[in-house]
Amino acid sequence: MLSPRRVTSASAIPLAILCNRLFHSRPLIRRSILYDFLPQYPTWFTNRGHTAAKIRYLHKLRSEYSLETLRECPYCGGSDFTLLATQERSGLPTRVVLCTACCLVFTNPRLSEAALVDHYQDDYRRIERGDRPDLHQFMFDLQGSKGPVLWDFITQAGATFNGDASMLDIGCGEGGLLQWFSANSNLSKVSGFELNKEAATYGLQQGLDIRQTPFTKSDDTYDLVVLEQVLEHLSSPDDLLSTIARSQTAGAWLFIGVPGLLNFSTSYDHNFIAYLQYGHMVHYCLHTLERLVTKHGYRLVRGNEIVRALFQRTENTTRILTTPPLQAAALTDLLLNSERIFSRRGSLLRNNWDHYRAYGILLFKSWLQSMVPDSQVSQSSTVKL
């Protein structure tokens, strides 16, 4: 039997999304209202694990989580923002803005710090990866597959390590990257930090040194710190970078990999909405990343717009920026041009109708299930396509 309270709560979710659509500012990039609910790639998300977690997140967003609205740019203090998008890849509400003064692109409003921690411990993995019985092994292998690419990037930049060098992977997940570095590099000590307890437990079972706490300054110093697909998730990246800087001495190395804002047309084939993720707080290009990191006592040694970047800790207090700044007009032109290219391909819904139909059925069932008191959503049912 449906709970009247839960029916009211669940019904308020789509109504709120519709109201935001109708009564708020129009973004630069805007798709059909259907994509306020539907994902850009239905083949990625058509399973019950994803839709159930998505509905849970929407309930929490309405009744539990708090949001922070930034009146000023977190980097330059500017207050003139251009609204770029209110949709993202998995069909969840978001608002992404561009600071016209410094060209930083960020989510605004954004989840509070407490909400972010809860979300990453609970629903994030399910929304992004759905229901996979082999989830942890899949993620472990995926992380390990990045090892050769990262090591090649680091060593080609001229980084060298002696026999007792140490490496730290912050946000290491199941530890696949730690495993690769342990087996294939000359780093003698590899360790990681991971907030997701299930992921960390899997890595510990593989014999890896993973700590299930936030990274804080310790007595250890690290010759190489890796932040692979982590920094974009943080509301306050300065706090983490400051802690890392205190854990490295001059000459040590910091590798950072984030989704490249200027690379979305290549990585996501001109689909800017597919590039966006509700959990990404800041969207970096190489220049905005360099501007963030160098103020903590680093210099950029090698970087590209994918974005992969290698920084070295330095004693030099003079801050030097080597990448050209991005202009707001150039970025909006890039977005609009890519949207024109994307729109020529025809209806996303019509081109993927069978997948969207299956996804819509699952989403509706998960929505109904959320109205039943003390329901236990099955984490094993999937749709065969």
Of 348, 336, 351, nearest in space to 34 by CA: 348
Say if residues 106 and 81 touch (Cβ distance below 8 Å): no
Of 365, 268, 276, nearest in space to 83 by CA: 276
In-domain check, residue 336: no
**Residue 235 C-alpha from the chain's centroid:** 11
Q: Are residues 22 and 146 in the same domain?
A: no
Q: Are residues 113 and 164 in the same domain?
A: no
Q: Are residues 196 and 224 in the same domain?
A: yes
Question: In which band, very low, low, confident or very high, does the pLDDT at 383 lie, cut at 50, 70 and 90?
Answer: very low
Condensed to tens digits (0 to 9), the pLDDT of residues 228-282 reads: 999 999 999 999 999 999 999 999 999 999 999 999 999 999 999 999 999 999 9
Question: In which band, very low, low, confident or very high, does the pLDDT at 374 lie, cut at 50, 70 and 90?
Answer: low
The tally of domains found in the chain comes to 2
Q: Are residues 145 and 278 in the same domain?
A: yes
Q: Are residues 208 and 281 in the same domain?
A: yes
Give, in order, the Cα–Cα distances in Å from 128 to each of 45, 53, 81, 153: 8, 9, 28, 27
Q: Are residues 175 and 245 in the same domain?
A: yes
Q: Are residues 216 and 140 in the same domain?
A: yes
Q: Are residues 183 and 299 in the same domain?
A: yes
Q: What mean pLDDT is reported for the chain? A: 92
Question: Percent helix, strand and coil across the chain, each rounded to 5?
Answer: 45, 15, 40
Strands 110-111 and 81-85: unpaired
Half-sphere exposure (Cβ direction) of 204: Cα atoms closer than 13 Å: 11
Q: What percentage of the chain reaches a pLDDT higher than 70?
A: 96
Q: Are residues 218 and 265 in the same domain?
A: yes
Which residue range is the domain that position 296 belongs to?
A: 135-331
Condensed to tens digits (0 to 9), the pLDDT of residues 34-75 reads: 999 999 999 989 999 999 999 999 999 988 999 999 999 999
